[in-house]
Amino acid sequence: MVKNEGRNNAHLKVMCKSKLLRVIVLIQNYLESENIKPSINIELEGAYLDKHNLSQNEFYQKANLQLKNLRIKAKLKPEFWHNQWEYESDFQIGNTVQTIDSYKRFLENIDAIFAPQISKLQPINYDWQKVKDLTIHIPNSTQINISLWNQGLNMLANKNYAFFLQNLLIENSINNLIFFIPNQENLDRLFLKEKYSLQDKLMCPNDISGGNQGSIACYLEKNKKNLPNDFDINADDLNYKILDHEHKWQKNARIEFRLASASLEYNLELHIFFVMLIALESLISYQENQNYQATKNTYPIPEKFYHQEEDNIVLRYKNNSFFKNKITLFSTQYPKLAKQLELIEKEIEIFISDK
């Protein structure tokens, strides 16, 4: 057990209500000054206990009506496993704060939304069901999707840029898992299939990888199931025009960040801050005349959140220079952002000070 883990996680969540949200807005303003609007969308998995024998259709109809009444811009739908659900935020462009607000309002009202059923929001639902006498422990993830839009065009339809951004997210994640993995319980989800020999049943990632099936996946022509990336985006009521494309995948192109677990300890703002900061960095560093390819390298994830001797998430972060490098990078062009990064770095130091 990590000393003072609960206190530190609580501190980090309080921090998100102020500094992180302001920095997310600041980054979005910088992007918009370049005529670029980010689209950040959230997928959250969980499960529920059926206490009143409601049919699945009846339950989801009722739950989605609750979301609408609470002005939560998202929908609930069934996932693969027994009574597993997925929260999917509405597709929006340039409304990151509203997306965050809807997610937080969902968590604040989750018991009422699911009633009379009982929600179970945790990284792993142990002993959840049996398949041919094999006990299945169900992993639940939080996934962040990002695309960037310039005057109605999806910038990730440019494969060269999409690969560059994907590679940059991968490179920055190797030693900075602390931005989206807050404790051991959240980390354990990533090793679930190996620990219980469920490789044939589960798809949760266990390394940092790219392509269209990795833990930081880029969906271009194909999605993570190697099927055409042609789902319909609900673009109703958007204040930002989406232009027609010759190919549907160009509108749907995005990067899906699949390493975070579903948990009340997970810090959405910290994760979105990380992703948007790297997106801003990509605009500074990207060179149009250079040919970028999707990296085929994979990088191991430590099995320990904190450990005095073994490879672990906290020590990777401590031995890295994430904020020093970013402050140097942004100090000339975005000095206000560089100052804010110094403040966030201090807050994270408090989070890991007892580890």
Contacts of 276 (CB under 8 A, 6+ apart): 24, 27, 28, 31, 38, 40, 96, 146
CA gyration radius, the chain: 20
Give me the pLDDT at residue 238, please. Answer: 60
Q: What residue ranges define each of the domains in the chain, with the CATH number in brackets?
A: 5-352 (3.30.590.10)
Between the CA of residue 29 and those of 34, 37, 251, 346, 348, what are the distances in Å? 9, 9, 23, 24, 24
Task: Give how far the C-alpha of residue 312 lies from the chain's centroid of Cα atoms, to the nearest Å.
Answer: 21
SS3 call for 67: helix
Phi and psi dihedrals of 212, rounded to 5?
-110, 5
Give me the pLDDT at residue 310, please. Answer: 93
This prediction has a pTM of 0.92
SS3 call for 106: helix
Give me the pLDDT at residue 7, please. Answer: 39
Compute the distance between CA of residue 56 and CA of residue 263 in angstroms, rounded to an integer: 24
Per-10-residue mean pLDDT, the chain, length 355 = 41 63 96 96 96 88 97 96 96 94 96 95 96 93 96 91 98 97 96 93 92 91 72 61 67 94 94 98 95 96 94 95 97 96 91 70
Give me the pLDDT at residue 16, please. Answer: 54
